[in-house]
Amino acid sequence: MTVTAPERVARCRPTGRHIGILLLLSTLVGCGREQSTLNPSGQDAQSIATLFWVMLAGAVVLWLLVNGAFYYMSRVRPGEMNERYARHILIGGGIVLPVVVLTSLLVWGLSLLPDPRQPGDGLVVRVTGEQWWWRVEYWPDGAEAPIVSANELRLPVGQRTEIHLTADRVIHSFWVPALGGKMDMFPGRETMISLAPEKVGTFRGQCAEFCGASHAWMAFAAVVMEPGDFDDWLEAEATDAVPPATEAARRGATVFQEQGCGACHTVRGTDAVGQVGPDLTHVGGRESLGAGRLKVTREDISAWISHTEDLKPEVRMPSYDLAPDALEDLARYLEGLT
């Protein structure tokens, strides 16, 4: 088929698909370091990143070889080819080379991939996927009851921690890209992944399995701490909630009680013992509110309580239409639960 000059020009113009690809690439710029497999901050993530770079290099080399051969045949030495030479090219380049390269990459890749179920060094964290938040329970070595938290995972650096995973109603997937691979979470079944973070810092975890309307809003912070800091934090996390310190916070605690928040939420040391929603005993000390949705500021707490259904579609917690003063007091109370 011959192509006229105007047709060539038309073919080179950016089409919808080109623009789409450009837009897609530009979104990659937004892949921050806190949630990136290319920012490996744990043993397992390091192996995965190495595998990626070597596979990418292998793919680039093969691509250059194939296209180089193509260019050579079509531009440098076009025309009829000696049959014996052509057979060598076909068998060598088309069968032997890919089999050797792909087999060696496969064997090497399989040997490198971390065992996601390596036993840990003692600490076990049980994480349950809910719609759409994370129930988190810490079981230190020898503990008889868990220390309950939510929507945040804290880990000691330099140790391997077992994360035991399950789910409430639908399948979710636990994933902290900077620390390791992902693992599915099933209702009625327990899976396990262990992580060995190597850098102190805050990383972002995200549910990686579609689980309903607010799947994209199911995130959490994975905070990696020095072992001593972690022990101090865990000890503080195990305590009951601090009593409200100001008059406004005390009024907020009354609002919390009157509105029946305790039917769904637990604030240890108070009458609130609900198990439906996240434990709020130390909610004021967390990195995020609503499972990565908002910050834990008074403004965001107020926004969350009054607009849950807008901020997280189909969430089970209804939006509360409180008087502005009551909402402010309630936010002060929750902010103070550090």
Which residues are CB-contacts of 68 (< 8 A; sequence separation ≥ 6)? Answer: none
Smaller CB separation from ligand CUA, 199 or 215: 215
Mapping DSSP to helix (H, G, I), strand (E, B) and coil, where does residue 271 land? Answer: coil
Name the burial class of residue 292, with classes exposed (0-12), middle (13-18) and buried (19+) by CB atoms within 10 angstroms of its CB: buried
Quick check: 207 binds ligand CUA (CB under 6 A)? yes
Mapping DSSP to helix (H, G, I), strand (E, B) and coil, where does residue 312 land? Answer: coil
Quick check: 70 binds ligand CUA (CB under 6 A)? no
Burial profile 70-100: b = 16 or more Cβ within 10 angstroms, e = fewer:
eeeeeeeeeeeeeeeeeeeeeeeeeeeeeee
Smaller CB separation from ligand CUA, 195 or 218: 218
Residues of this chain, 159-198, that bind ligand CUA according to CB under 6 A: 172
The amino acid present at 218, given as its one-letter code, is: M
Smaller CB separation from ligand CUA, 255 or 291: 291
Per-residue contact flags (x/-) with ligand CUA for residues 218 to 237, judged by CB under 6 A: x-------------------
Smaller CB separation from ligand CUA, 171 or 326: 171
d(CA 271, CA 225): 32
Quick check: 209 binds ligand CUA (CB under 6 A)? yes
Residues of this chain, 96-135, that bind ligand CUA according to CB under 6 A: 129, 132
d(CA 272, CA 244): 14
Size of the site for ligand CUA (CB under 6 A): 9
| Least Å from the CB of residue 137 to ligand CUA | 18
| Least Å from the CB of residue 115 to ligand CUA | 25
The binding site for ligand CUA (CB under 6 A) comprises 129, 132, 172, 207, 209-211, 215, 218
